[in-house]
Amino acid sequence: MTWELRRLTRADLPLLACWLADPDVHRWWFHAFTPEAVERDFGPGVDGLEPGEDLLVLQDGRPFGLVQRAVVTDYPEDLAAFERILGPVHPAAVTLDYLVGSAEDRGRGLGPQMLDAVTRLTFTERPDAPYVLVAVVAANRRSWRALEKAGFRIVGSGDAEPDNPVDLPLHHVLRRDRLPGE
Ligand SMILES: CC(C)(COP(=O)(O)OP(=O)(O)OC[C@H]1O[C@@H](n2cnc3c(N)ncnc32)[C@H](O)[C@@H]1OP(=O)(O)O)[C@@H](O)C(=O)NCCC(=O)NCCS
Percent of the chain with pLDDT over 90: 98
- Identify which of 142, 163, 166 to mutate to test ligand 1's pocket (most ligand atoms within 8 A of the CB): 142
The reply to whether 133 falls in a domain is yes
The reply to whether 20 falls in a domain is yes
Q: Is the CB of 82 under 6 A from ligand 1?
A: no
User: Domain containing 157: what range?
Assistant: 3-177
Greatest distance between any 2 Cα atoms in the chain: 45
Q: Sheet harboring 153-159: ordered strands across?
A: 3-7, 53-59, 62-71, 94-100, 131-137, 170-177, 153-159
The reply to whether 170 falls in a domain is yes
How many angstroms separate the CA atoms of 113 and 111, rounded?
Answer: 5
The reply to whether 23 falls in a domain is yes
Q: Is the CB of 140 under 6 A from ligand 1?
A: yes
Ligand 1 center–CA 143 separation, angstroms: 5
The reply to whether 151 falls in a domain is yes
Digit-coded pLDDT (tens) for 170-182:
999 999 999 988 8
How many angstroms separate the CA atoms of 113 and 131, rounded?
Answer: 18
The residue whose CA is least distant from atom 17 of ligand 1 is: 142
The reply to whether 182 falls in a domain is no
Strand partners, 100: 65
Digit-coded pLDDT (tens) for 76-119:
999 999 999 999 999 999 999 999 999 999 999 999 999 999 99
Digit-coded pLDDT (tens) for 10-49:
999 999 999 999 999 999 999 999 999 999 999 999 999 9
How many angstroms separate the CA atoms of 160 and 136, rounded?
Answer: 10
Ligand 1 center–CA 110 separation, angstroms: 9
The confidence score (pLDDT) of residue 78 equals 95
Domains of the chain: total:
1
Domain at 61, CATH number: 3.40.630.30
Q: Is the CB of 29 under 6 A from ligand 1?
A: yes
Strand partners, 94: 71, 132
Ligand 1 center–CA 116 separation, angstroms: 14
How many angstroms separate the CA atoms of 7 and 23, rounded?
Answer: 25
Q: Kindly give the interhelix angle for 141-149 and 110-125, rounded to the nearest 10 degrees.
A: 60
Alpha helices (H) in the chain, listed in sequence order: 13-21, 23-26, 35-46, 76-86, 110-125, 141-149
Report the SS3 class of residue 115: helix
The residue whose CA is least distant from atom 1 of ligand 1 is: 143
